[in-house]
Amino acid sequence: MSAKAIDEDGLDSALVRLESVARTYGTGQSAVVAVRDATGSVPARARLAVTGPSGSGKSTLLQLMSGLDRPTVGTVSWPALAHRHLTPTRSIAMVFQGPSLIPALNVEENVALPLVLAGQTDRDAHAAARSALALVDLTDLSDKLPEELSGGQSQRVAVARVLASRPRLILADEPTGHLDAVRGAHVIDVLLAAADQLQAALVISTHDPAVADRMTSRWRMSEGSIRTAQETVRL
C-alpha cells in the first residue's frame, strides 16, 4: 500500500486522505520542515506502520492525520468520517508514546473521560469504561491512579480508553517506545485485538521493525517525506 496505491483504491471510503501536505514549525531561518509533500490515504480496517528514524516526521504526520495539528500546505481530509475538512475527533483515537493518562483521575475515570466529553452520562460512560477495561484485562486496576501503574499497564489503559470511545481510526504514536520487548509486544497485541474488535483502521508509527512487521502495510519516512511507494507485509 503506497501513497499512490491508496489514492487509486481509497476513493470516498478512505478514512483519512493527505494531499501534498507539509508542516513547517517556526518561520524564517529557524523554520523546521517536519513533513513535506506527503500524499496518501488510509482505507477502512487498514493496518499501517509508519516507520523511519527519529525526527523523520512520523509523530507530526500522525497528528496531522488525527486533526490535532493543521498542515501548513496541502489538505488533510476524512472522507469516510466527516464532512470534508472538518475534524472528526469523535471517530479518531490516539495512543501516545509517553504517559497520556490524567494523573488526577483513576483508571476507570480516565477511560470514561472521552465518553463524558462526548456527552454521555456518567453512568453510561463508566459502564463502557468497565467493559473496555475488561477487554484489556485491567478490571482489577480500575481504582488505581496512573502513578500506581507500570508503563505497560498505562499503555493498556490508554488502549482501553481508545476501545471505550469506539473510533474507526486508531493512531498510535510509538506506543511501545518506553517499553521493553515483551511488554511492547503485549501492547501491540492489545491494539491489534482492539482494532479487530472495533473493525477500525490502525496506524502505528514505530522505528521497531518487529512492530512494523506485524502491520500489513508500511510507509517509510525520511526527512519529512513518505519515501516508500508500496510495501505490503504478509503476516
Partner 1 sequence: MTATWLRGLLARQYGRLLAAVCGIALSVALLASLGVFLAASKSTMTSRAASSVLVDWQVKVARDADPLAVLDTVVGTAGIRVARTVRFAQTTGLSAVTAGSTQTTGPGVVLGIPANYASAFPGEIRPLTGAGSGVLIAQQTAANLHVAPGDTITIGRAGLPAAHLVIQGVVDLPQADSLFQRVGAPAASQPAAPPDNVVLVPPGTFADLFSQLAAARPDLVTTQVHVGRNQQLPPDPAQSYISVVGAAHNLEAALSGAGVVGNNLAAALDGARKDASYAQILFLFLGFPGAVLAGVLTAAVASAGRARRRREQALMRTRGATLRKMMLLSSAEAAVLGLVGGFLGLLLARLVGSWAFGTSSFGASRGDALVWTATALVVGFTVAVVSIVVPAVSDFRQMTVASARISVRRESSPRWMRWGVDLVLLAVSGLVFWQTSRGDYTLVLAPEGVAAISVNYWAFLGPGLLWIGSGLLAWRLALTFLRYGRSPLTWLVRPLTGRLASTAAAGMSRQRGLVARSVVLVGLALSFAFSTAVFNQTYRHQAEVDARLTNGADIAVTESPGVVVGPEAGSAIASISGVRQVEPLLHRFAYVGADLQDLFGVHPGTVSRATSLQDAYFQGGTAAQLMGVLAAHPDAILVSDETVKDFQLSPGDLLNLRLQDSRTKQFTTVPFHYAGIAKEFPTAPHDSFFVANADYVAKATGSGAVGTFLVDTGGANIPGVTAQIRQALGTSASVTNILTTRKAVGSSLTSVDLTGLTRVELGFALLLAAGAGGLVLALGIAERRRSFAIVTVLGAGRRQMFGLVLSEAAVVSALGLVGGLVGGWLLSQMLVKVLTGVFDPPPEGLSTPTGYLLWTLAITFAAIFGAALITGRAASRAAVEQLREL
Rounded Cα gap, residues 49 and 25, in angstroms? 24
Amino acid at 65: M
Please list every residue from 100 through 159 that binds partner 1, using CB under 8 A.
Answer: 100-106, 109, 112-114, 116-122, 145-148
Do the beta carbons of residue 186 and residue 109 sit within 8 Å? no
Q: Work out the number of other CB atoms within 10 angstroms of the CB of residue 91.
A: 18
Choose one: 3-11, 63-71, 77-85, 127-135; the region binding partner 1 (CB under 8 A): 63-71
CB of 58 to partner 1, least distance (A): 12
CB of 86: closest distance to partner 1 in angstroms?
14
In which residue are the cell numbers 464532512 written? 83
191 lies in the site for partner 1, by CB under 8 A: no
Our finding on whether 83 is near partner 1 (CB under 8 A) is: no
Residues from 196 through 215 that contact partner 1 (CB under 8 A): none
Is the Cβ of residue 40 or residue 114 nearer to partner 1 in the bound state?
Answer: 114
61: helix, strand or coil: helix
The edge-to-edge listing of strands for the beta sheet with 92-95 is 92-95, 169-173, 201-206, 47-51, 217-222, 225-226
Q: Which is nearer to partner 1, 109 or 208 (CB)?
A: 109
- The reply to whether 56 sits near partner 1 by the rule CB under 8 A is no
Burial class (CB in 10 A: 0-12, 13-18, 19+), 232: exposed
Cell of 63: 497528528
Question: Exactly one of 11, 31, 32, 68 binds partner 1 (CB under 8 A); which one?
Answer: 68
- Closer of 4 and 70 to partner 1 (Cβ): 70
SS3 state at 118: coil
Residue 172 engages partner 1 in binding (rule: CB under 8 A): no
Site size for partner 1 (CB under 8 A): 34
Considering the rule CB under 8 A, would residue 72 count as an interface residue with partner 1?
no
Q: Whole-number minimum distance, CB 138 to partner 1, in Å?
A: 18
Q: How many CA atoms lie within 13 A of 54 on its CB side?
A: 2
Q: Which residues bind partner 1 (CB under 8 A)?
A: 59, 63, 68-69, 89-90, 94, 96-106, 109, 112-114, 116-122, 145-148, 161
